[in-house]
Structure 1
Amino acid sequence: MLYNPLCTITLATCIALLITGRATAQDTEKPVEPGFVSNEPDYAKNPISIYKACDPNEILRSDISNFNENITVWLSYIKNLQQSVEQGQASSAGISYAGVGLSYEDAKSFASYIVQNENYNLATSESVSILRTTLSPDSVAAYIACLKANDPLTIVAPDTAIGEIEFPLTVRWAPGFEVPGSTLKVTLINGTIEGKKVFEKKVDPPEEISLTILRNGKGDKRLFITAEVNGKVSDTFTYPAIPMFKVDMQRSFSPPRDKLPYSICRSGHCGTDKVVKDLCIYASGGGTLLPSTQGFEVSQIVGDPNRAKWYQKKGNSSGVSCAVVENSAGASEHYNFIAGWATVMQAVTVPIDEDALPKFVKDSYRRIPIGASR
């Protein structure tokens, strides 16, 4: 039972704390495959406080910017950020995907769209494994040292493992005392080492054992990895299926960008009364709009900016987003003019048909993080 943030805890607990700032029994998810025994700890039901010096969100945010084009990592980040925000433990500022800044509400809606549109949902244990993999070694080491954690048996994988069929894995066995003649046993579900679901090797601590993991098929099933030495079982690595889709970020316009801009002229000749126009953009092609990115690309503006202006319409959604353009003239001798295009970003999932690709393209494609621009 964990009763103090400076007590000895496992690496999985540290990472769970790093992501959410607390861990509960409800947060821990067990593998559903029969015959697989997990040694994930029975977390205390009461929240575990973290000293301010060990700010988990600061550590996570400094690293996650390097992976904001990898949809699997991004979904893991949003899932855990949402838990922290709802518990009042994190700020929702500074979210982006593929270089596009997003509001917290847009990020949640975008993540929900992927879950619904692609049936691609991550368990908490998968999010922990993914974020633990993609955090820099220095950040993980610093946080563990801050909490004075100590786990003699750990699994370490590179960030490329997230989207690879075949990837390297390191098992670290350092109990701090001599244990001659020990046997390392690595058990996998939906993957193999040297063609074996259960791989065994004699080890003498301290030792780092380098292995090569091969996922079954196209990697379209969840992968579970656990290591055991002398009854000591490592934290379980749980990887989601490799997504068979990528996300395209598209900018939409109203009017279409290849058409003349919408314009309002107000003067003695054009008329002085206020004109208000909603320029709306609707989600298309099975995509979802990101209304916090709603803007207005101005081609020309003349006169009083307090009269010739635009702003986001209240109530914009993932289905329809509008910019409001308005203009007026205070007197017949005044001339105010505004012209441009309403614009908003749209996210669209695009299937990846690997069967239709030549082998060399498949191989190069797998070496690119899923969701990254190509």
Structure 2
Amino acid sequence: MSMHRCALTSLTVASHLLFLNSFALAQACDPAEILRTDILKYDSNITVMMADVRNRVSSHQSNDQQQGGFSYSGIKLNYGEEKWLSDYISEQADFRLSQQEAISVLKATLSESSVRAYEACLGSQKLVISIPDLAGSDSDILVDVKWTPDGVDVPASKLNLNISGGELIEGDQKSRFERGEARIFKIHRANLFEPLSIKATIRGDRAEVYLPRKPNFKVVFAELYDPPMSQGPHGIRRGVGDNTTDLAKYDLCVISEEGILIPSTAYMQKDIVDGQGGRAFADVDHATASGHKVCGTVGASSGGAFSLVQITARLRVFEVKVVKLPDTQ
């Protein structure tokens, strides 16, 4: 079956990262529960979607496949479709987030009010590492380290800053911190396509931040049709002469050969002339729809040889493909 691809929308995948406190504490305090509204505002951000899926799977929140998910340029996905798309991207682009990276990405979506709620959930953080938004796509990033230990008469203590996937180019990674002090360090990433981890320790207080590698792919959306847009819609005409009143049906199917379909976007474009009411129909078969194939049925019948009932219809479904990009800065 031939299909026409049109209205392509390319989404360059960018990682929006802010900061991560202690990973052990972040596991106990799930950011997704606090920032659900914030997450849904991140339209067209594949990295945030994959982080959300990763976190839900890890926290066993993935039972309801039909619950609300993300949207991309107006295309709404449920969680089941998020999971399909995330798995597809992982397979096609070899791009996967660790749980530490997922927590970091999710926390990056926090609004100012949600940041306060998240920190309240975590409890008092003694050592915090913060980095600017969009740090995942920058070669040079500024890292802020702040230490606020318990107690008042806490002596100045040495920082141990360990970096993997980057190089400290400004600041002393073994400098001494006073209580309540914050310092900024500059880190250079020679290769953005390698992950970065930053671990800080002062007097037993720990903080960690993880940045995934820069994605070397983009996601492309296309509309697929049956019949293709180069042809007219499929039509059924009943009640225009003898032996033309019985029900006639025809199946339309869209099949993805190169990507994955988003079943919830399936839509029957139809035009009906039916003076008898209810004798013409065009419905999507959602029960059998999958990421590979979505079908629907067009049908019409007439109550009399000269009672015209006719319908024309076309099935439309959105397909998603991953297009790899060269590993260049």
Q: Give yes or no for TM over 0.5.
A: yes
Asked if 1:78 is matched to 2:53, the reply is: yes
- Paired with 2:79 and 2:65, the residues of 1 have a C-alpha distance of 9
| Structure whose residues are more often strand by fraction | 2
- Paired with 2:25 and 2:283, the residues of 1 have a C-alpha distance of 45
> Alpha carbons of 1:83 and 1:230: their partners in 2 closer, same or farther (altered >3 Å)?
closer
Q: Write the letter of the residue equivalent to 1:319.
A: H
Tell me which residue corresponds to 2:17. none
Say which of 221, 227, 244 aligns to 1:249.
221
Tell me which residue corresponds to 1:96. 70
Tell me which residue corresponds to 1:16. 27
Which structure carries more relative contact order (alpha carbon 8 Å, separation 6+)?
A: 2
1:181-192 aligned within 5 A: 181-192=156-167
| Structure whose residues are more often helix by fraction | 1
Tell me which residue corresponds to 2:308. 335
1:119-268 aligned within 5 A: 119-145=94-120, 147=121, 149-176=123-150, 177-194=152-169, 199-217=173-191, 219-234=192-207, 236-268=208-240
Q: Write the letter of the residue equivalent to 1:19.
A: D
Which is worse superposed, 239-248 or 310-319?
Answer: 310-319
Q: Write the letter of the residue equivalent to 2:39.
A: I
Query: 8 Å contact 2:224–2:319 — kept in the other structure?
Result: yes
CA offsets per residue over residues 179-223 of structure 1, 9 Å max, x none? 443332321101122079x83333323122223332232x11221
- Paired with 2:195 and 2:122, the residues of 1 have a C-alpha distance of 32
Q: Write the letter of the residue equivalent to 2:315.
A: A
Asked if 1:317 is matched to 2:252, the reply is: no
Q: CA deviation at 1:13?
A: 4.3
Structure 2 SS opposite 1:194:
strand
- Paired with 1:132 and 1:343, the residues of 2 have a C-alpha distance of 36
Structure 1 SS opposite 2:311:
strand
Query: 8 Å contact 1:11–1:150 — kept in the other structure?
Result: no
Identity among equivalent pairs (%): 27
> Alpha carbons of 1:333 and 1:212: their partners in 2 closer, same or farther (altered >3 Å)?
farther
Q: Write the letter of the residue equivalent to 1:233.
A: R
Q: CA deviation at 1:155?
A: 1.2
Q: CA deviation at 1:259?
A: 2.4
Asked if 1:289 is matched to 2:289, the reply is: no
- Paired with 1:305 and 1:102, the residues of 2 have a C-alpha distance of 33
Structure 2 SS opposite 1:220:
coil
- Paired with 1:148 and 1:228, the residues of 2 have a C-alpha distance of 18
Which is worse superposed, 171-180 or 72-81?
Answer: 171-180
Structure 1 SS opposite 2:49:
helix
RMSD: 2.6
CA offsets per residue over residues 125-173 of structure 1, 9 Å max, x none? 211122122322421321332x471121011223312333333322121
Q: CA deviation at 1:343?
A: 0.6
- Paired with 1:292 and 1:80, the residues of 2 have a C-alpha distance of 23
- Paired with 2:268 and 2:138, the residues of 1 have a C-alpha distance of 40
Q: Write the letter of the residue equivalent to 1:302.
A: V
- Paired with 2:122 and 2:216, the residues of 1 have a C-alpha distance of 40
> Alpha carbons of 1:204 and 1:13: their partners in 2 closer, same or farther (altered >3 Å)?
same
- Paired with 1:327 and 1:163, the residues of 2 have a C-alpha distance of 55
Q: Write the letter of the residue equivalent to 1:188.
A: I
- Paired with 2:65 and 2:232, the residues of 1 have a C-alpha distance of 41
